[in-house]
Amino acid sequence: MHKTAIIRCEHFNAAHRLHNAHWSDAKNKEVFGKCNNPNYHGHNYDLEVKVIGHCDPATGYVIDTKILSTLIKKNILDRFDHKNLNLDTEEFRELNPTAENIARVIYDILRKELDQALDLKIKLYETARNYVEYPY
Ligand code: NI
């Protein structure tokens, strides 16, 4: 039997600033554009957490969605929702909070919470037109 993927969609709002402290202000502005605004700006992030595995014959579930949604709420939404990622979170104090880096951080956090038999993929939309996938 093939594996099945189950996807939980979540949402959070957060502020950020993309900036490389080793670069001049001009270079930062050139590379990061509006996302370099010194006073930060917000995004409405849409998050898709995909869990892949074999269905448990006893339940018919890959993972109970109640368990998955609680896991995401406790570990991701409570940590990042309505936060300034640069100032309010440990994860992005030094790490540039690009969509790529946010997706990887979310993966690393959730990976530790999930059964090793399950595969995990993260899709993070920064805007309706831009999203990243990790791992790829
Ligand atoms: Ni931005």
Tell me the CA–centroid distance for residue 135 and ligand 1, in Å: 21
**Tokens in use for 89?**
């979170």
Residues with CB under 5 A from ligand 1 (ion): 35
Q: What is the pLDDT of residue 1?
A: 85
- Tell me whether residue 22 is one of the annotated catalytic residues: no
How many domains does the chain contain in total? Answer: 1
Predicted confidence at residue 112, as pLDDT, reads 98
Sheet holding 119-125, edge to edge: 83-84, 4-16, 41-53, 119-125, 131-134
DSSP E strands: which ranges in 18-59?
Answer: 41-53
Q: Which of 41, 54, 82, 133 is catalytic?
A: 82
Query: Which residues of the chain, if any, have pLDDT below 50?
Result: none
pLDDT reported for residue 52? 98
Q: Is 88 exposed, middle or buried (0-12, 13-18, 19+ CB in 10 A)?
A: middle
- Do residues 2 and 55 make contact, with C-beta atoms less than 8 angstroms apart? no
CA distance 53 to 114: 11
pLDDT at 23: 97
Catalytic-role residue among 16, 19, 43, 126: 126
**CATH number where 20 lies:** 3.30.479.10
Per-residue pLDDT at 103: 98
Which residues span the domain enclosing 76?
4-134
